[in-house]
Amino acid sequence: MKNLKKRLQQGETLHGCWLNLGSALTAEIVGLSGFDWVLIDLEHGAGTEKDVLAQLQALESTSTAAFVRVESADSPRISRVLDMGAAGVMCPKVNDAAEAKKVINGLHYPPFGSRGVAKMVRATAFGENFQKYYDSSKENLWGIVQIETAEALNHLDEIAAVEGVDVLFIGPADLSMELGIFGQFDHPIFIDALEKINQAARKAGKATGILFFNPDDYKKYHDMGIRFIACGADATFVADGAKNMVKKLEAFKATYK
């Protein structure tokens, strides 16, 4: 699983981004660019489960680990993307320990969880490596739960303490919306929430993650102790590149008037 867990546990900051276009080509481009990890987004992204397989195949030859954000903690949603070869899952709006345990339960085979067993799937090289995959799955598969509701802030210690949860991932947009300060990421209420999430994660020996779109925010979040950092998405990379090119071309065009 590209050794990411050990690197994170040793205190290294890991860089990732979102994949929300549902495109195998943009997944491959982003993977080849050198990100440590990417998040294929099934909650808000344009793709479906059918598109996940092609994206995972495109990322296979890169050094980038691929996680999938599932729509919910329902076991079939989790097991399908894991069987395709995802390195782990992110689940949105996890409110308490019971919901976190549901995510982890779907992530792992018995006796640690209740994930259904299927040997002839891509994750196990279609049966060739099932035993190796099974033996290492508890150590290698990632459980990432999103903290993005006011209710979750009341249960941070319990969520962080759930065995199998690796990252408490902050959803800035949803969390700030819930707190009545949408988009105000420097607001004292938002900063206080982040500090509480960090404190709970550190106490449990877990990592904290966040997504942002302005690279200039890196220092702020890194200084808070956040080590699982995502910045940008394939859609924004394409949009920004297109806008920048039009701007440059229009600037050149203006010199000929």
Quick check: is 187 catalytic?
A: no
CA distance 83 to 120: 9
Please give the C-alpha separations between residue 245 and each of 16, 115, 257, in angstroms, as whole numbers: 25, 47, 19
Tokens representing 225 are 């102790």
CA distance 40 to 27: 9
DSSP 250: H
Q: Which residues contact 253 (CB under 8 A, 6 or more apart)?
A: none
SS3 annotation, 101-156: HHHHHHHCCCCCCCCCCCCCCHHHCCCCCHHHHHHHHHHHCEEEEEECCHHHHCCH
CA distance 201 to 77: 26
Q: Which of 44, 155, 187, 222 is catalytic?
A: 44
24 contacts 47 by C-beta, under 8 angstroms? no
CA distance 85 to 43: 18
SS3 annotation, 19-67: ECCCCHHHHHHHHHHCCCEEEEECCCCCCCHHHHHHHHHHHCCCCCEEE
- Active-site annotation, residues: 44
